[in-house]
Homo-oligomer: A and B are copies of this chain.
C-alpha cells in the first residue's frame, strides 16, 4: 500500500499531467475504470495501475487526480507509434481546446476515421481530451499530419458541403477555433467546403468536423452502391 506522496508511481502520474513529460516518456494516464478498461481492451501496454484502498491510500490517489470527484483507479499506459494512414482522416490545424480535440477523436471513432494533429493542437493524451474522447483515443489511429487529397472546411465562402463529391477526398481539414485556416494551408487543399448555417458562430469545430465525417460516410456508401 502506497502511503507516501513521494512514492515514485505517484510522482510519475504527477509528471504526466504535463505534456512535455508525456511526450518525453511516451506515457499517459487515464482516470476511472471505463477508460482503463478501454485501454486494456485494445491491448495498450499498462505500465502502472493504482487502485484506491488496494495499493494506494485513497487520499493520495485523489491528490494526483485531475477530477473533482476522484476516480477509484488510475492507469498509466504506453503510447503507440503513430499509425499508418488508412482511409479517411481529419487533419486538425491548431485546434487548441482539449475538449474539442477529444470530441473530434470520439466522432472519428464513430465514423472509422483517423485524426492527424498539427503542432499547436491540444494533446489528445492530456486528461481533458482523454475524458472527452470517452475511450475512443485507444481505437483511433493518429497518423502524421499530411494534406493528401484534402478538402478544407471553412466557415464561409466554400462550396456547400452537400454539393461537393466528398468521396473524392480522404482528408478533411479543420482550422483553429479562433483563426480558422491560414491561406498558405488553404492553397494546399484541393477544395473548400462550407456547412450552410444561419448563424456562423454557433457551429463549433467539433460539430463541423462531425458533420463532415457524416457526410463523407454517406457519400462513400452512395458511391459503393452505384458501382
Chain A residues at the B interface, C-beta cutoff of 8 Å: 103, 106-107, 109-112, 134, 136, 139, 162, 195-204, 206-207, 210-211, 214-215, 217-218, 221
Contact = CB atoms under 8 A, between A and B. Distances in A.
A134 B97 CA distance: 15
B106 A204 contact: yes
B210 A110 contact: no
The binding surface of chain A is classed by DSSP as helix
A210 B212 CA distance: 11
Contacts of A198: 109-112
A107 B203 contact: yes
A136 B106 contact: no
Contacts of A210: 207, 210-211
Contacts of A107: 202-203, 207
A199 B162 contact: no
A140 B136 CA distance: 32
A226 to B, nearest CB: 14
B202 A134 contact: yes
| Listed residue (A109, A197, A202) with the most chain B CB atoms within 10 angstroms of its CB | A202
A195 B112 CA distance: 13
A110 B205 CA distance: 12
Q: Which 8 A-B pairs have the closest CB atoms?
A: A110-B202, A112-B198, A109-B202, A110-B197, A110-B203, A162-B218, A211-B214, A207-B210
B111 A197 contact: yes
Nearest to A140: B202
A109 B198 CA distance: 7
Contacts of A204: 106, 134
Contacts of A199: 109-110, 112, 136, 139
Contacts of A162: 218, 221
